[in-house]
């Protein structure tokens, strides 16, 4: 596996509840706690993956290396998704209930997570030489 991306037992389950319109500030607090708890490990993983870029480029070409960059830093990359989660948490600070925009934001983040998972699976298959 290239990257662990938002395991169901982590922030993702809270995003699903919020996206369904039944979320609470406790779900936001759980996302914040998960983000805090995983920040160091995620940063280390992203640095480690970035370190593989040159070896991947040599073994599989520039396109594969660029795909790895997108997985880490792209529009639907791990780094951006963590920032989107941080923005969601920040937008709820000091409120007594979730803003009306929270379900749509959570749903958009979930879609971005799925897009990232597709990218990860595609690069994984390319590295292993699988073809469709």
**Six-digit token string for 84:** 């989107």
**pLDDT at 8 (0 to 100):** 58
Write out pLDDT tens, residues 69-98. 999 998 888 899 999 999 999 999 999 999
Kindly list the domain boundaries of the chain, sorted by start residue: 8-128
**pLDDT at 103 (0 to 100):** 97
Kindly give, in sequence order, each residue whose CB lies less than 8 Å from that of residue 97, ignoring residues fewer than 6 positions away: 24, 25
Whether the per-residue pLDDT at 4 is higher than 90: the answer is no
**pLDDT at 90 (0 to 100):** 95
Whether the per-residue pLDDT at 2 is higher than 50: the answer is no
Kindly give, in sequence order, each residue whose CB lies less than 8 Å from that of residue 102, ignoring residues fewer than 6 positions away: 18, 23, 28, 88, 91, 92
Within 10 Å of residue 11's Cβ, how many Cβ atoms?
26
CA-to-CA distance for 30 and 90, rounded, in angstroms?
13
**pLDDT at 50 (0 to 100):** 84
Assign residue 97 a region (left: φ > 0; alpha: ψ between -120 and 50; beta: otherwise). Answer: beta
CA-to-CA distance for 123 and 71, rounded, in angstroms?
9
Whether the per-residue pLDDT at 118 is higher than 60: the answer is yes
pTM of the predicted structure, to 2 decimals: 0.84
Question: Are residues 7 and 15 in contact, defined by beta-carbon separation less than 8 angstroms?
Answer: no
**Residue 15 banded pLDDT, cuts 50, 70, 90:** very high
Write out pLDDT tens, residues 100-113. 999 999 999 999 99
Whether the per-residue pLDDT at 132 is higher than 70: the answer is no
């Amino acid at each position: 596996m290239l990257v662990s991306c938002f395991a169901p037992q982590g922030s993702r389950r809270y995003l699903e509840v919020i996206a369904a319109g039944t979320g609470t500030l406790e779900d936001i607090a759980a996302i914040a706690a998960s983000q805090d708890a995983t920040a160091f490990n995620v940063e280390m993983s992203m640095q480690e993956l970035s370190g593989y870029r040159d070896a991947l480029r040599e073994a599989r070409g520039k396109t594969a290396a660029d795909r790895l960059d997108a997985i880490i830093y792209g529009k639907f990359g791990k780094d951006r998704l963590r920032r989107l989660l941080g923005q969601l948490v920040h937008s709820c600070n000091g409120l007594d209930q979730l803003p009306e925009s929270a379900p749509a934001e959570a749903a958009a983040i979930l879609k971005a997570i799925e897009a990232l998972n597709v990218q990860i699976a595609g690069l994984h298959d390319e590295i292993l030489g699988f073809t469709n």
